[in-house]
Structure 1
């Protein structure tokens, strides 16, 4: 995997529509991703805010919405920062039907374009490797509790 990218892949025992809803609807995102609320204007250029009680708010700009297979956004590296060149990375959720479930691939890219030293970019990427492992695990556990 390139140093500029993180990718997590998992199979979820739920149909793509349910996974799509959990990834794109604020009432779900605030349960598995943020813990203090979320707002999502689900359209290209729409704004998404995800809040954590301890960490503040991530401000995201939605890039692509292709129900039920692709959702992507740019998010600012710093708390409360609008995503802009030099301070943001691109996150993509890709969904693929897989029998009676869904294969989900979450990719974050653009670390090499961050305004930072190579060491700082590597630290940020490494932190997000751990972060996405945790968040995807929470998504899988949460979706098991969501009714069809």
Structure 2
């Protein structure tokens, strides 16, 4: 198995403009992915995602740095990097959401790369990759479900 690239595609019954807002704005992100989010959709913006209750010691706070925000086609960010470092190609993972019109909806392609570049030993690499596979397989359908609640059926 190749542990360098994770890719998923989903069809969403909403315009790329709506989907872009849902994948890039904190008020929408909180509805389908992290429990809390603070981020601006502009290149270079540094924010955070919070998984769990921020007040709980078990909460996981993850820094993110926006790489690209091209409305309504692309939103990408780096994450999973040491909190005392700036995100780079060698110390972080890159997540890209590519959006394309598809009939009356949007084709969303999510690509996550950078696993091998982290320099993890094989066991850590495999575990991290599998954790992200499981995570995206859980959260991406929630994205589609959330958008379906926002947009009336045509």
Q: Same fold (TM over 0.5)?
A: yes
Structure 1 position 95, deviation (Å): 0.3
After superposition, the Cα gap between the structure-2 partners of 1:81 and 1:6, relative to the gap in structure 1 and judged at 3 Å, is farther
Q: Which has the larger radius of gyration?
A: 2
Q: Counterparts of 2:91 and 2:126 in 1: how far apart (Å)? A: 14
After superposition, the Cα gap between the structure-2 partners of 1:56 and 1:50, relative to the gap in structure 1 and judged at 3 Å, is same
Structure 1 position 130, deviation (Å): 1.0
The Cα RMSD (Å) is 1.9
Gaps of 5+ in 2: 53-57
1:145 to 134, 146, 149: 149
TM-score, normalising length: structure 1: 0.90
Q: Counterparts of 2:90 and 2:137 in 1: how far apart (Å)? A: 24
Mapping of residues 1-148 of structure 1, within 5 Å: 2-35=2-35, 37-53=36-52, 55-77=59-81, 82=85, 83-147=87-151
TM-score, normalising length: structure 2: 0.86
**Stretches (4+) displaced over 3 A:** 80-87
Gaps of 5+ in 1: none
After superposition, the Cα gap between the structure-2 partners of 1:123 and 1:19, relative to the gap in structure 1 and judged at 3 Å, is same
Count of aligned residue pairs for this structure pair: 146
